[in-house]
Amino acid sequence: MKKKDRDKDKTPVQEPAAEQEQAPQQAQGEPVEAEAEAEGEASVAEWQAALELAVKQRDELKDSLLRAQADFQNFKRRNQTARSDGYEDGVRESIAAMLPAIDNLERALDAAEKAEGGEALAEGVRMTLNTLLEGLKRFGFEEVPALGQDFDPELHNAVMREAGEEPGKVLEVFQKGYRVKDKIIRYAMVKVSVEE
């Protein structure tokens, strides 16, 4: 009987042990699968977050690149405009510095034409003056029309007034005015007619 009791004692003890072994495996298997699924979901979520971050960084870099390109184009345009303006300003200043020489050549020409035997001198001065004026025309240099024209304060500098039949007309030019392209480098100094 003791044997039977032992067998009975062993059987119930063994069966619960087998059940206990299976139960923990199942219990452990479920969490392992859940952890794997959770890790898979976390991994996908991490990849999505990383992808969103990469897309955001790409967009920021693209915007930064476009801004840099636009800034560079603006810089080139400003630099080209500044260079062009600087060149034009230099031309105007150089020509303005030569205006006294032009005035003196014109006075010398008038004096030579009025002097007896001054035809040869007048011709030489005229040729020199014409050569100088032709050379300056390549840069857009031209005389501002004044004598007989309507007075324009943007072109003429009225220093005298005189009663005349047609008010607002330029009666006399004391000093010629000049411009280079569209900019005045010296206003014409004139006498203007006014109403009596």
In angstroms, the CA 191 to CA 157 distance is 9
Q: What is the pLDDT of residue 56?
A: 94
Mean pLDDT of the chain: 82
Give the CATH number for residue 177. Answer: 2.30.22.10
Q: How many domains does the chain have?
A: 2
Q: Which runs of consecutive H residues, i.e. helices, occur in the chain?
A: 2-114, 119-137
For residues 51 and 15, which has the higher predicted lDDT (pLDDT)? 51
Do 159 and 118 belong to one domain? no
Closest CA to 144 of 180, 168, 92: 180
Q: What is the pLDDT of residue 93?
A: 92
Residue 41 corresponds to which tokens in the numbers above?
A: 């979901």
Do 77 and 147 belong to one domain? no
Do 180 and 92 belong to one domain? no
Do 121 and 145 belong to one domain? no
Residue given tokens 């020199």 in the structure block: 128
In angstroms, the CA 164 to CA 147 distance is 14
Q: Is the pLDDT of residue 110 over 70?
A: yes
Q: Is the pLDDT of residue 35 over 90?
A: no
Give the CATH number for residue 90. Answer: 3.90.20.20
**Of 31-40, 116-125, 177-186, which one has max mean pLDDT?**
177-186
* pTM tops 0.85: no
Range of the domain at 26: 2-139
| Strand order, beta sheet including 141-144 | 141-144, 177-180, 183-186
Do 145 and 119 belong to one domain? no
Q: Is the pLDDT of residue 26 over 50?
A: no
Q: Which amino acid is at 74?
A: N
Mean pLDDT of 130-150: 92
- Contact indicator for 191, 174 with CB cutoff of 8 Å: yes
